[in-house]
């Protein structure tokens, strides 16, 4: 059996880099392949809840994350119709006390850069960028990938294939037999702008804001050690175009928030440029494994970002899979991948369902929205925080 061969990971995003780092630290060799010439994570901010940050801190990345990320004091949830505060939930020290790990907001580029810098320190990891894959063969003897890298033919041999290639995964569609990504009927618009002066007037600098409105919601928080503000506006929409990095017309997003309270409109008016993309999900019946191939991250459970858990689930997947692969790649590896898949599917299905539920609740209008607001006020910050324990309190079994 090909126990002596490296694990081959397709995709050097958050899932692929975290897995590579965990495997290397456990003594396993890894080849990571990405089609991008350069790992330049576009998009904007990311919220990292304690279930994910605890894994990254355990990998020794804590000080790098704290250098560029922020630990917001609280999240304030407001009604997009009246502008009234619905509830303010403590984060900051409350998260560390409750879960032993922080809630961090960070630029995606800073997270990916931190992971990449750590991976580059690992002699067991070989990173190949700008690879166009032409064929993938997986059988009981291992995996062979062929393609082109910088106009040269390349061939990679490994023991196990990991598809960490995002929601439009090639490994899912061509090897595992899953279908194409499915549009959710929502579009996310993202932008950043310089924080200076703005938040002093309007909002607390170190607070995350969430505004809930009819057919739309808005999230804002500071990134880049507080120098920039990140905005995410999710709207019900019919636009569905492939792309992570498509520019959006500011007038269009401003029109979608017309009629919202002034502070929200002021926020939406701040950026000069926006990026937008169609929010897609991985098909819900996607098989996680096939023989020696396994999917992780968005490739298998790409979900709407309405509990801010896509990257967190990718990081959890990576950590658990590394434990499975580090205990040997021999004859029984397919069975052990099956056990991995079963456990992770149960958890990620539940998280994805929570994200879809939030998508409905967040975008209510009229009387149902008033009932939602009243319900949240009655439940109160403490019990709402308790409701997140099953997500934020998760830890890998082996510590
Ligand atoms: C608006 C928005 C807000 C979000 N906010 C949050 C949040 O606050 N918190 C959170 O946890 N999550 C959030 N997410 C989700 C998060 O961004 C994703 O879940 C996460 O990036 C998934 O990581 P991944 O590594 O699985 O996939 P990706 O980050 O998509 O990485 C896939 C990698 O595979 C490479 N690749 C693709 N195809 C190939 C191929 N054929 N060959 C080689 N390489 C290939 C790509 O170049 C890329 O580098 C948000 C998502 C959106 C859209």
Please state the three-class secondary structure of the chain as a single string: CCCCCCEEEECCCHHHHHHHHHHHHCCCCEEEECCCCCCCCCCCEEEECHHHHHHHHHCCCHHHHHHHCECCCEEEEEECCCCCEEEEEECHHHHHHHHCCCCEEEEHHHHHHHHHHHHHCCCCEEEECCEEEEEEEEECCEEEEEEEECCEEEEEEECCEEECCCCCCHHHHHHHCCCCCEEEEEEEEEEEEECCCHHHHHCCCCEEEEEEECCEEEEEEEEHHHCEEEEEEEEECCCCCCCCCEEECHHHHHHHCCCCCHHHHHHHHCCCCEEEEEEEECCCCCCCEECCEEECCHHHHCCCCCCCCHHHHHHHHHHHHHHHHHCCCCCCHHHHHHHHHHHHHHHHHHHHHHHHHHHHHHCCCHHHHHHHHHHHHHHHHHHHHHCCHHHHCCCCCCC
Ligand 1 atom at minimal distance to the Cα of residue 17: 25
Atom 15 (ligand 1): residue with closest C-alpha? 310
Ligand 1 center–CA 13 separation, angstroms: 6
Q: Where are the domains of the chain?
A: 7-181+282-392
Ligand 1 center–CA 242 separation, angstroms: 14
pLDDT digits (tens, 9 = 90+) for 54-112: 999 999 999 999 999 999 999 999 999 999 999 999 999 999 999 999 999 999 999 99
Atom 20 (ligand 1): residue with closest C-alpha? 311
Ligand 1 center–CA 258 separation, angstroms: 31
pLDDT digits (tens, 9 = 90+) for 181-213: 998 889 999 999 988 876 655 566 689 999 999
pLDDT at 280: 92
Ligand 1 atom at minimal distance to the Cα of residue 190: 1
Ligand 1 center–CA 232 separation, angstroms: 16
Atom 52 (ligand 1): residue with closest C-alpha? 305
Q: Pick the catalytic residue from 99, 221, 362, 392.
A: 221
Ligand 1 center–CA 310 separation, angstroms: 8
What's the fold here for domain 7-181+282-392? FAD/NAD(P)-binding domain (3.50.50)
- 221 belongs to the catalytic site: yes
pLDDT above 90 (res 322): yes
pLDDT digits (tens, 9 = 90+) for 116-149: 999 999 999 999 999 999 999 999 889 999 999 9
pLDDT at 11: 98
Pocket of ligand 1 (CB under 6 A): 10-16, 33-36, 46-47, 133, 164-166, 170, 188, 190, 232, 279, 297-299, 305, 308-312, 314
């Amino acid at each position: 059996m090909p126990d002596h061969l490296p694990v081959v990971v397709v995709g050097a995003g958050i899932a692929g880099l975290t897995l590579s780092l965990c495997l290397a630290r456990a003594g396993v060799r890894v080849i990571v392949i990405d089609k991008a010439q350069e790992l330049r994570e576009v998009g904007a901010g990311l919220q990292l809840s304690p279930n994910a940050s605890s894994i990254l801190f355990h990998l020794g990345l804590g000080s790098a994350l704290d250098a560029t990320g922020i630990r917001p004091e609280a999240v304030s949830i407001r009604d997009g119709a009246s502008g009234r505060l619905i509830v303010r939930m403590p984060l900051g020290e409350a998260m560390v006390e409750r879960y032993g790990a922080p809630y961090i907001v960070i630029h995606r580029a800073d997270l990916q850069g931190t992971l990449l810098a750590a991976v580059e320190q690992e002699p067991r990891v070989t990173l190949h960028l700008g690879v166009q894959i032409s064929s993938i063969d997986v059988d009981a003897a291992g995996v062979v990938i062929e393609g082109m890298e910088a106009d040269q033919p390349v061939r990679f041999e490994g023991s196990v294939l990991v598809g960490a290639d995002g929601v439009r995964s090639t490994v899912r569609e061509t090897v595992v037999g899953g279908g194409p990504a499915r549009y959710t009927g929502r579009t996310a618009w993202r932008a950043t702008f310089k924080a200076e002066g703005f938040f002093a007037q309007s909002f607390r600098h170190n607070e995350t804001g969430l505004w809930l409105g009819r057919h739309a919601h808005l999230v804002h928080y500071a990134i880049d050690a507080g120098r920039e503000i990140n905005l995410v506006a999710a709207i019900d929409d019919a636009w569905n175009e492939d792309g992570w990095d498509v520019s959006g017309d500011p007038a269009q997003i401003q029109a979608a928030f017309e009629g919202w309270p002034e502070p929200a409109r002021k926020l939406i008016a701040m950026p000069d440029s926006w990026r937008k993309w169609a929010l897609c999900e991985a098909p819900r019946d996607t098989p996680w494994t096939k023989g020696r191939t396994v999917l992780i991250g968005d490739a298998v459970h790409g979900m709407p970002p309405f509990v801010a858990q896509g990257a967190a689930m990718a990081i959890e997947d990576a950590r658990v899979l590394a434990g499975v692969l580090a205990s040997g790649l021999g004859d029984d590896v397919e069975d052990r991948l099956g056990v991995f898949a079963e456990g992770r599917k149960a958890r990620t299905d539940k998280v994805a369902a929570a994200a879809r539920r939030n998508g409905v609740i967040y975008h209510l209008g009229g009387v149902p929205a008033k009932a939602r607001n009243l319900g949240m006020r009655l439940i109160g910050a403490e019990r709402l925080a308790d409701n997140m324990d099953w997500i934020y309190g998760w830890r890998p079994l082996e510590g």
